[in-house]
Structure 1
């Protein structure tokens, strides 16, 4: 994905609300995990926005996101459980776009996409 334009409002929310007290990689990973755990409403339907090496899903497919992956896995990136084609998989949240989500889910996923697409790391 190309780098997104700087969004000052989103940058402020991420810096001052999500990772405000996180001083190293592990703390940033856990800050994101707990923010998303609080904001995301599962299950939600999603479409695949991009192919990724860490996932067999392809653009245009749909899946049902059913929950966050275990926090240990999310120390390297944010992953979610999905149900697709009668299989349960763990895939990167960066790959999914919610279809008709509630507002907290929409904003939280957009925040993660922004962080990911900017190339930021834990």
Structure 2
């Protein structure tokens, strides 16, 4: 996926609301986890925006996202629980696009996509 153009407004919001005072990798990971935990309304329906090696999900499929994965797993990236057919799977949030969700959920996921797609790391 191509790196998105710099979005100064989003960069500022992430810097001042998500990772403010987070100086280490672990602090940044927990900052993102807490931000997403507060903003995401579960469950929400989602489409798959891209294939990823760490996930069995494919573009064009739909899932129901039921919650954030355990915070220990989210120290390397943000993962969510998703209902995929008859199975519950853990998938990267970078792969998921909310469908018919509330505005805070859409904005928070878009913030994560931006951060991830820019290549930023914890």
Q: Give TM-score, length-normalised by structure 2.
A: 0.99
| Residues 1-122 of structure 1 aligned to structure 2 (within 5 Å) | 1-122=1-122
Task: Tell me how far apart the structure 2 counterparts of residues 17 and 37 of structure 1 sit (CA, whole Å).
Answer: 14
RMSD across aligned positions (CA): 0.4
**CA offset at residue 84 of structure 1?**
0.7
Task: Tell me how far apart the structure 2 counterparts of residues 18 and 60 of structure 1 sit (CA, whole Å).
Answer: 30
Divergent runs of 4+, >4 A: none
Task: Tell me how far apart the structure 2 counterparts of residues 116 and 57 of structure 1 sit (CA, whole Å).
Answer: 18
In structure 1, the gaps of 5 or more residues are none
**CA offset at residue 2 of structure 1?**
0.8
Q: Give TM-score, length-normalised by structure 1.
A: 0.99
Provide Cα deviations, 1:59-111, integer angstroms capped at 9, x if missing partner.
Answer: 00000000000000000000000001110000000000000110100100000
Task: Tell me how far apart the structure 1 counterparts of residues 78 and 24 of structure 2 sit (CA, whole Å).
Answer: 16
Task: Tell me how far apart the structure 2 counterparts of residues 2 and 76 of structure 1 sit (CA, whole Å).
Answer: 21
In structure 2, the gaps of 5 or more residues are none
When the two structures are aligned, how many residues end up with a matched partner?
122
Q: Secondary structure at the match of 1:20?
A: coil
